[in-house]
Amino acid sequence: MSEKQDLAAQIINLVGGDENIISLTHCITRLRFYLKDAGKFDKPALDKLDGVIMAVESNGQFQVVVGDKVATIYHQIIDRYTINGTAEREGETGARKGNPLARVFNTMSSILVPIVPALAGAGMLKAVLVILTTYHWLATDSGTYLILLAASNSVFYFLPLLLAFSCGKAFGTNPFVSVAIVAALLEPNFTAMIKQPGDIVSFLGIPVVLMKYNSTLIPAILAIWVYSWVERGLKHIIHQSIEMVAVPMLGLIIMVPLVAIVVGPIGIYAGTAIGDGIAFMNHQSGMLTGALIGAGWTFLVMFGLHWGLVPVMLNNLALHGYDTIKPPAGTATFAQAGAAFGVFLRARDPKLKSFALSAMLPALLAGVTEPIVYGISIKYKRPLVAATVAGVIAGGFVGAMNTTAMAYVFPSLTTLPAFMTATFKFYIAGIALSFVLSAALTFIMGFDETISSPVNPATDDGRNDGAAVNGAPVAAATAPTTTITPAANHGNAGIGTVSFLVAPLNGRVIPLEQVKDPVFASGVMGQGIAIIPIDGEVYSPVDGIVSKLFHTRHAIGITSDQGVEVLIHIGLDTVRLNGELFSAHIREGDRVRSGDLLLTFDREELLRRHFDITTPVIIANSDDYPSVSITDSQQVETSGPLLRVSMSAR
């Protein structure tokens, strides 16, 4: 597979190559690079790359926004390249670049991003339980409730342990020793000494003020930051032959008392001070605080700085059981969705209308606004103004009403239960006001449609049963004998032999451009077609060699005897299953004949888990041939004709 056909390879080339990468991680929609030479980051070329929404430089971090397929591209890069200081060591290298404020925000991001899914899931469960018990649908003394309550409380009660592990990676220390240090503060012998917070015991004659550390945030972060310096110092003076035992032992001996005596209480007092400060601001002017958050949240997200406020929100939840920052932040999310809807209503270009609608859905359903921010608001400018104005007004309203959230979630329609406190009606009014006002202002002010239409970032999360493409039902695929001519210029080479590929699956055919993944739909991976399978068996489409079997068994590459490189990719985003539900019946390097069974997968379970099972069949080296023709059939069966590759005369 050539580099120019591979989005991951193109991105690596345009950030200066793998040798220029210090570390790489990713969040929901963007790859986050730390680079040795910033001058090699080719932002203009990245912005023009099919499959890339926008390239951003923020606080010494170089971000490539690719939409919700970021995990797939990230794993392609990690699997294919040797990158010093991978995502797990981001904090040790990249997070120390830039000015001090940038380092703080980048470090917070590297610590919190990995644990956000657990926080969001537990938070939503907690909110659902509150609703069920409030309306007496579930008794609080029932076994069902108590078991689910334990599930919802686990993440928050043991939050210091999750933070310790994440901090260990971010600060470049042993994450398991980091967990052990913080776990000592939750150990029964330690907690048994606490009759009430503030009690004092003695350690070697030194007074220790006892605190409760469950559900806390700042003490764990401070503790592991201090330990990162202690560990480096110990490694500097301890001989390598005994380092494996001596460093962890001395780390525990030094750090546990140090945290109990100094670091822990400082963290508790700091957290209390932050919480009191937020409460004071809301008391003085909730409207002003909400307006600032509603207007500024989008800009914080643009530069990845919003992670700096996540500890504050989590601290509020731990101290008070509610948070007042997330509701006005939610108005900013719905303002962006409203801007996208306004563009959809006003735009004349069908491509732009389709993009606006597809970008709006993840914002409304999952709270993901980056595709709108980068693909619409920044590009067309006036929608950003409209969303900001709506955020100010709606954010000020929910702030004035002291609106609260009971859990940390991404604001969206699906996470409304997290806001079902006594102020829920004000939150509903606020997000509705934000959406409608932003849409109306965008429609009234208009925008310049002559700016190039954005590339579809595949903002849909790919959750369908194969019966819809780009959010709309697919008519029976009509692919009248179509010839796709690659961009490569072959001059007068002429047409020699023809290579035929048979269908590797039974199912319905759709054009490649309708696949809800820009990497495939744009043709950057190569020309071909896609099949929505009706069963779970994959057969070889050619005689040849298995050139690549991905360790996740969701994709396979075969090189035919004529040199045609075929890629079969089962489903979209199925890489995150890490091989679950997939079985391989061949090995890499095996010779196969057309019709041999290659892979099997659990189609019904994939659908039950809401995976898109659309399976692209790609000619990875299609640029090497004058044309690739696709079948005109709407349905295909294994061993039936699928693709025809015209070979250049040799």
Q: Tokens representing 469?
A: 């493409």
Nearest to residue 165, comparing CAs of 145, 154, 181?
A: 181
Q: Tokens representing 263?
A: 């670091």
Same domain, 276 and 366: no
Q: How many CB atoms lie within 10 A of CB 521?
A: 23
Distance CA 301, CA 307 (A): 8
Residue 105, pLDDT above cutoff 70: no
End-to-end CA distance of the chain: 21
Residues paired with 546 in a beta bridge:
558
- Any domain includes 237: yes
Distance CA 525, CA 31 (A): 19
Instruction: With beta carbons less than 8 A apart as the criterion, state whether 90 and 557 touch.
Output: no
Same domain, 263 and 197: yes
Instruction: With beta carbons less than 8 A apart as the criterion, state whether 215 and 267 touch.
Output: no
Q: How far is CA 193 from CA 185, 202, 590, in A?
A: 11, 11, 64
Nearest to residue 227, comparing CAs of 190, 183, 271?
A: 183
Instruction: With beta carbons less than 8 A apart as the criterion, state whether 584 and 553 touch.
Output: yes
Residue 333, pLDDT above cutoff 80: yes
- Any domain includes 414: yes
The pLDDT tens digits of the residues spanning 274-318 come to 767 777 877 788 899 889 998 888 887 766 567 667 778 887 887
Query: What pLDDT, on the 0 to 100 scale, is given for residue 452?
Result: 47
- Any domain includes 164: yes
Instruction: With beta carbons less than 8 A apart as the criterion, state whether 532 and 508 touch.
Output: yes
Residue 477, pLDDT above cutoff 50: no
Q: Where are the alpha helices (DSSP H) in 557-613?
A: 603-608
Considering only 124-133, 179-188, 561-570, 607-616, which range has the smallest mean pLDDT? Answer: 124-133
Catalytic residue, chosen from 27, 167, 306, 554, is: 27
Catalytic residue, chosen from 75, 136, 569, 610, is: 569
Q: How far is CA 111 from CA 164, 169, 172, 311, in A?
A: 9, 8, 11, 10
Q: Tokens representing 339?
A: 């801007």
Q: How many CB atoms lie within 10 A of CB 142?
A: 11
- Which residue, of 235, 258, 284, is where some domain finishes? 284
Considering only 155-159, 439-443, 485-489, which range has the smallest mean pLDDT? Answer: 485-489
Distance CA 168, CA 178 (A): 6
Same domain, 89 and 125: no
Nearest to residue 517, comparing CAs of 578, 470, 466?
A: 470
The pLDDT tens digits of the residues spanning 335-378 come to 999 999 999 999 888 878 888 888 888 788 878 787 788 778 88
Q: Is 280 exposed, middle or buried (0-12, 13-18, 19+ CB in 10 A)?
A: exposed
Residue 524, pLDDT above cutoff 90: no
Instruction: With beta carbons less than 8 A apart as the criterion, state whether 325 and 296 touch.
Output: no
Give the pairing of strands 21-26 and 565-569: unpaired
- Any domain includes 265: yes
Same domain, 92 and 126: no
Return the higher-pLDDT residue of 558 and 525. 558
Q: Is 494 exposed, middle or buried (0-12, 13-18, 19+ CB in 10 A)?
A: exposed
Q: Is 594 exposed, middle or buried (0-12, 13-18, 19+ CB in 10 A)?
A: middle
Q: Kindly give, in sequence order, each residue whose CB lies less than 8 Å from that of residue 417, ignoring residues fewer than 6 positions away.
A: 124, 127, 128, 130, 131
- Which residue, of 65, 98, 131, is where some domain finishes? 98
Nearest to residue 582, comparing CAs of 569, 597, 601?
A: 601
Instruction: Look up 554 and say whether it is catalytic.
Output: no
Band (pLDDT 50/70/90 cuts) for residue 95 is very low
Distance CA 597, CA 599 (A): 6
Exposure string over 404-425, b if 16+ CB within 10 A, otherwise e: bbbbbbbbbeebbbbbbbebbe
Distance CA 420, CA 603 (A): 37
Same domain, 475 and 622: yes
User: How many structural domains does the chain have?
Assistant: 4
Same domain, 484 and 422: no
- Any domain includes 294: no
Calculate mean pLDDT across residues 379-383: 86
Band (pLDDT 50/70/90 cuts) for residue 506 is very high
Return the higher-pLDDT residue of 59 and 491. 59
Query: Residue for token digits 């822990």?
Result: 264
- Any domain includes 293: no
Query: What pLDDT, on the 0 to 100 scale, is given for residue 27?
Result: 64
Query: What pLDDT, on the 0 to 100 scale, is given for residue 155?
Result: 84
Query: What pLDDT, on the 0 to 100 scale, is given for residue 88?
Result: 36
The sign of the torsion formed by the CA atoms of 346, 297, 14, 572 equals negative
- Which amino acid belongs to residue 394? A
Residue 473, pLDDT above cutoff 50: no
- Which residue, of 43, 71, 98, is where some domain finishes? 98
Residue 261, pLDDT above cutoff 60: yes
Same domain, 414 and 475: no
The pLDDT tens digits of the residues spanning 221-239 come to 899 999 999 988 888 888 8
- Any domain includes 310: no
Domain CATH for 638:
2.70.70.10
Residue 99, pLDDT above cutoff 80: no
Instruction: With beta carbons less than 8 A apart as the criterion, state whether 204 and 258 touch.
Output: no
- Any domain includes 295: no
Instruction: With beta carbons less than 8 A apart as the criterion, state whether 319 and 281 touch.
Output: no
Q: How many CB atoms lie within 10 A of CB 144?
A: 10
Residue 380, pLDDT above cutoff 80: yes
Residue 648, pLDDT above cutoff 80: no
Q: Kindly give, in sequence order, each residue whose CB lies less than 8 Å from that of residue 413, ignoring residues fewer than 6 positions away.
A: 364, 365
Query: What pLDDT, on the 0 to 100 scale, is given for residue 486?
Result: 41
The string of DSSP letters for 219-260 reads HHHHHHHHHHHHHHHHHHHS-GGGHHHHHHHHHHHHHHHHII
Same domain, 280 and 133: yes
Instruction: With beta carbons less than 8 A apart as the criterion, state whether 508 and 487 touch.
Output: no
Q: Where are the alpha helices (DSSP H) in 347-401?
A: 350-366, 370-372, 378-380, 382-400
Residue 480, pLDDT above cutoff 60: no
Same domain, 538 and 505: yes
Query: What pLDDT, on the 0 to 100 scale, is given for residue 101?
Result: 60
Instruction: Look up 167 and say whether it is catalytic.
Output: no
Same domain, 208 and 277: yes
Q: Which helix (H) or strand (E) holds 215?
A: none
Distance CA 3, CA 7 (A): 8
Same domain, 268 and 148: yes
Kindly report the pTM of this predicted structure.
0.50
The residue range of the domain holding 255 is 114-284
Distance CA 260, CA 273 (A): 19
Domain CATH for 39:
3.30.1360.60
Share of the chain above pLDDT 90, in %: 24
Instruction: With beta carbons less than 8 A apart as the criterion, state whether 421 and 405 touch.
Output: yes
Q: Give the chain's mean pLDDT.
A: 80
Query: What pLDDT, on the 0 to 100 scale, is given for residue 87?
Result: 37
Q: Is 302 exposed, middle or buried (0-12, 13-18, 19+ CB in 10 A)?
A: buried
Percent composition of the chain: helix, strand, coil (DSSP 3-state, to 5): 50, 15, 30
Same domain, 216 and 336: no
Residues paired with 538 in a beta bridge:
599
Residues paired with 639 in a beta bridge:
none
